Structure 1
Amino acid sequence: MTVQTIHIQLPDEMYQRFWQVAHATNQPLEEVVLQTIRGNLPPSLDDLDPKLHSIIADLQQLSDDRLWTIAKEEGPPELWHRHQELLQKAHDDDLTASEMQELETLREATDRQIIRRSYALALLKWHGHTLPTDL
């Protein structure tokens, strides 16, 4: 791994917070700063399976209002209920071939929605928003 060096000026109170964390956790100051930066970078498409890129590629250009809308979107309740019904039937080993296909289709749709919502929330957090705990 290539390492680059960067020199930045920090406000004294920020430096003191980094130093306090480093001291309390018995870590080098540089490691605490690096962990903080790493944990606060915006989400990247490079972190995802390339097959998922098309699901979230448009989100990075959206306004925060639009991201909130996506983060709060819920699928149609009837599809959610059907998904749950099929999962129960699968658990009971009572699915027909067509129900297996339907369950797979519903699972893929649910996964896409969850990935979009999660990525929208990650972007909102990176934009400085406090995320509600009830989403």
Structure 2
Amino acid sequence: MLAEITLQIPEILYQRLVNTARATQRPLEEIILHALQVGSPPVWDDVPEEFQADLAALDKLDDNTLWQIVHSCKTAANMERYNILLEGNSNGTLTEAERLELMALRHEADLFMLRKAQAAVLLRWRGYSVPTP
């Protein structure tokens, strides 16, 4: 599905796009679409499908909320329980209920880290300097 828009751009930018199209012997429309794709907010479609809706929702958040996500931390209690279950899993001593709990915590941890990473990338794209941990 395609959407059509009319857009007024500065002449100098238009000339750069035209020059690039000529130099690369590609249609102007292709050059403009490429520039939009490269300059668009980062995508989330390279992550597992189960996390995509959560990451897509981040696009709609304001900067302050994204900063809160970037700076969020898991609680010590959550991390301790996760580590206990991981150890039990490696020892082969988990019950079925604990195995399910470990899977749920792993899913939760994966989503947590993906949200933090996507929020940081979105903030960088929006022009902020986001320190790396």
Could you tell me the TM-score, scaled by structure 2's length? 0.62
Q: Show structure 1 runs of 4+ deviating over 4 A.
A: 35-40
Quick one: percent identity of the two aligned structures?
Answer: 26
Q: CA deviation at 1:73?
A: 1.0
Aligned residues: 131
Tell me if structure 1 keeps the 8 A contact 2:51–2:111. no
User: RMSD over aligned Cα, in angstroms?
Assistant: 4.0
Equivalent AA in structure 1 for residue 112 of structure 2: Q
Deviations 1:51-73 (A, max 9, x none): 522x1232111111111111111
The 5 Å alignment of 1:97-116 reads 97=95, 98-116=97-115
Equivalent AA in structure 1 for residue 102 of structure 2: L
Could you tell me the TM-score, scaled by structure 1's length? 0.61
| Structure 2: gaps (5+ residues) | 1-33
Tell me if structure 2 keeps the 8 A contact 1:125–1:131. yes
What does residue 71 of structure 1 align with? Answer: 70
- 2:37 matched to 1:52? no
| Structure 1: gaps (5+ residues) | 1-34
Q: CA deviation at 1:120?
A: 0.6
Q: CA deviation at 1:89?
A: 2.2
